[in-house]
Amino acid sequence: MPKASVKTIFGTALRSLREERGYSQEHLAERAGLHRNYVGGVERGERNIALENIVKLAQALSVRAKDLFDALP
Amino acid sequence: MPKASVKTIFGTALRSLREERGYSQEHLAERAGLHRNYVGGVERGERNIALENIVKLAQALSVRAKDLFDALP
């Protein structure tokens, strides 16, 4: 099995936290001021998300940015 | 005093960890496979660094990516 990419690991963590909150992708995107398609792309590991959007998503999930990195090296 | 931006807070954390290691910007950049000017721009809060490069810099500093987020919300 190939090693999961950084983007995939991050996306999985994001999805997991979002689902814990019971938020749809659309609801999370609205809370963060981002587009739903963008959030979907991040969750699928297709986007190399940058710092400012990482912090926006963390705040929209009521977690700290570092909590999204728990599964990363 | 205006609130420090996410990019500035991250850049300050990066610089602090780099200096703890005794690495020059050039040495850190080489270890991470990035350009020295890019690392300088991140440290000055000029760059909205993305996920893959965050992980590269963390590994080059022998820390976890989340350790670069300690000062962020």
What's the whole-number mean pLDDT along residues B6-15?
Answer: 98
Asked if B50 and A48 touch (Cβ cutoff 8 Å), the reply is yes
Q: How far is CA A2 from the centre of its chain?
A: 22
Nearest to B10 among A48, A51, A72 (CB): A51
pLDDT of residue A2: 61
pLDDT of residue B4: 82
What's the whole-number mean pLDDT along residues B41-63?
Answer: 98
The answer to whether residue B1 is domain-embedded is no
Intra-chain end-to-end CA distance of chain A, in Å: 18
pLDDT of residue A68: 97
Distance CA B68, CA B43 (A): 12
pLDDT of residue B13: 98
Most A-contacting residue of B5, B12, B49, B51 (CB-CB within 10 A), to test interface: B51
| pLDDT exceeds cutoff 70 at B20 | yes
pLDDT of residue B2: 61
Nearest to B69 among A7, A49, A66 (CB): A66
pLDDT of residue A3: 72
What's the ipTM? 0.94
The answer to whether residue A47 is domain-embedded is yes
What's the whole-number mean pLDDT along residues B17-24?
Answer: 98
pLDDT of residue A4: 82
Residue A28's domain comprises: 6-69
CATH number of the domain enclosing B41: 1.10.260.40
Residues of A with CB under 8 A from a CB of B: 6-7, 10, 48-52, 54-55, 58-59, 64-67, 69-70, 72-73
The answer to whether residue A1 is domain-embedded is no
The answer to whether residue A15 is domain-embedded is yes
The answer to whether residue A10 is domain-embedded is yes
Distance CA B16, CA B68 (A): 10
Residues (pLDDT < 70) of chain A are: 1-2
The answer to whether residue A52 is domain-embedded is yes
The answer to whether residue A49 is domain-embedded is yes
The answer to whether residue B11 is domain-embedded is yes
Q: Which residue has the higher pLDDT, A1 or B2?
A: B2
Instruction: Determine the 3-state secondary structure of B3 from DSSP.
Output: coil
